[in-house]
Chain A
Amino acid sequence: MHNLNTVISFEVVRTLKKKTFWVTALSFPVVITVVFAIIFFSNQATEQATLDTQNQKFSLAITDESNAITPQLITQLGAKTLTDKQQGIQQVKDGSLDAYFYYPSELDKQKVEVYAKDVGLFDNSRYQGTADALLNQSIATTVDTETVAILKNKVDFSSVTFKDGIEYDGFKQLIAPGLFLVLFYILVTMFGSQMLTSTTEEKENRVIEMLLTTIKARTLIIGKILSLIILALIQIVIILIPILVIYLQFGDVLALPNIDLANLPLDPVRITVGAIIFALSFLLFTGLLVAIGSAVPTAREASGFFGLIMMLIFGPLYAFTLFISAPHSSIVTFLSYFPLTAPIPLMLRNAVGNLTIPEALIGIAVLGVSAAIVLAIAIRMFRYGALEYSKILSLKSIFATKKNTPRR
């Protein structure tokens, strides 16, 4: 019992004496507060954006071959009626109409067709919602409730949206640029810990002096980062190949959704922007984790910072609805341009198509400059923290006026 108490008091006291314990312990409440604030503001802004969308009016034309739609409701909506379906579709394509609804003669056998101008991935749903509401309200006034219930389950809708006169499917458009976000998430969660401890190994093994007199610190750090990127790419292939094989070989048996890969829309601008943001984000966080690994004496102490970094990177995911519904709000702008939170908002907004080219360029510049700075700090920390086997380096000591002042 005496020994147990001795061990417990020894372990507790020595941990409490470490700065890292207090830094990480005190940082978590701060980060959690920030995350909850993001969620709160995100929800508020999303609700407001939803209300704004619902109240937004749009120009509408309707062709009703079913004769189920009440003319008064069409008038109340401010919509016009057309007899020619192709004319309605063409007016949406050329932008003279926001939306066109086609109600076929046999509602139980044919789909109600909705054609509309693209207004964003989630806002597009307002068109089909209006078409559905119009039908429901019309039949409610003309038929009994039992028929209403039957019709409600029988009527199908198809929606086609147009952007610049060309058919545009927001969900399909999201897939290719959205892959970068998924890859980033997978790689950082899988490799983060390895990045963090990649430079503590040399310290813990006391091999650093031999290395620094054989190879430049810059070469070593860049080599480590590139090797992590190569390992990450291998990991991507390892993840993707079985998924692809299962999908192609057993997709039908497993009833997986049928995605027409050959016709997957590939927007070169969004894919390029996504790839650049992904690469710079990965470089930034690799550099950051390597810098932390260089500043602390052991892998154990480095791991204390891991949770904090993960929360910074992925905290913005809590506000994902906000990135879609209110992409130009102050909080989204801040999260998109603050280096440590920028990757998720930038990649997500690029995927859903609300990141403008100037915004993308600013984001890329922020990430690029930040990655370069962090990388320079990581090299400096490794170089000058090389012989620091027992304590954590401070930025102050790294950038002291007498730049190479030895530390003992």
Chain B
Amino acid sequence: MAAARTSTTISLPLATRLTTAVFSLMLGVFIIYGVGLSHSETLHDTAHDTRHSYGFPCH
């Protein structure tokens, strides 16, 4: 288990990783919300084909 996994784990302590991870997660969620779920009409119409293609509930 350990031998196969050591190369794919990150050795940095959680505290170092957490700031970046939380920032990245919030930014990503904000973007996905805007692209896929926001009820703003401009966003809906611009993202229309992508929303349908991605399987987001649309209309």
- Do A and B interact? no
Residues of chain A having any CB pair with chain B under 8 Å: none
